[in-house]
């Protein structure tokens, strides 16, 4: 059975801290790993990763995939209160079906 596991489930940091969110996956015929950010509404897309070792970066956020060890990390540097959200990781196989993990709830305190 396909499975995606995120850790930690919740995290509290102070502004300026750097955080690392983890995502491990077991997805049949794996094609891509996606990260989303969810505030009080619909999840919004952050990154899609398909190749090992190639970092994707957007401002203070970056992510990388390890297809040998079946995991991905999402890094956020110099955190701000606006980074407070649930971060969701999803694995996709060749059918296009998306399997999500439990999410990591990040709280950034001023």
Partner 1 sequence: DVKVTQSSRYLVKRTGEKVFLECVQDMDHENMFWYRQDPGLGLRLIYFSYDVKMKEKGDIPEGYSVSREKKERFSLILESASTNQTSMYLCASSPPTRNAEAFFGQGTRLTVV
Identity of the residue, 24 or 50, whose beta carbon is nearer to partner 1 in the bound complex: 50
Contact at 8 Å (CB) between 55 and 75? no
In angstroms, the CA 54 to CA 102 distance is 25
- Residues 24-83 touching partner 1, rule: CB under 8 A, are 31-32, 34, 41-45, 48, 50
Identity of the residue, 31 or 109, whose beta carbon is nearer to partner 1 in the bound complex: 31
b/e sequence 75-88, b meaning 16+ C-beta within 10 Å: ebeebeeebebbbb
Minimum CB–partner distance for residue 110 and partner 1 (Å): 24
The one among 85, 88, 106, 108 contacting partner 1 by CB under 8 A: 88
In angstroms, the CA 51 to CA 68 distance is 11
Contacts with partner 1 by CB under 8 A lie at 6, 9, 31-32, 34, 41-45, 48, 50, 88, 90, 92, 94-103
């Amino acid at each position: 059975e396909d499975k995606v596991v995120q850790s930690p489930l919740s995290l509290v940091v102070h502004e300026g801290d750097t955080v690392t969110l983890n995502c491990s996956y077991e997805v049949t015929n794996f094609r891509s790993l996606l990260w989303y950010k969810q505030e009080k509404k619909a999840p919004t897309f952050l990154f899609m990763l398909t190749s090992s070792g190639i970092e994707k970066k957007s401002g203070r956020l970056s992510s990388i995939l390890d297809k040998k060890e079946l995991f991905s990390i999402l890094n956020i540097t110099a955190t701000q209160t606006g980074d407070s959200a649930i971060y969701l990781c999803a694995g996709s196989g060749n059918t296009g079906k998306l399997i999500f993990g439990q999410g990591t709830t990040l709280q950034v305190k001023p």
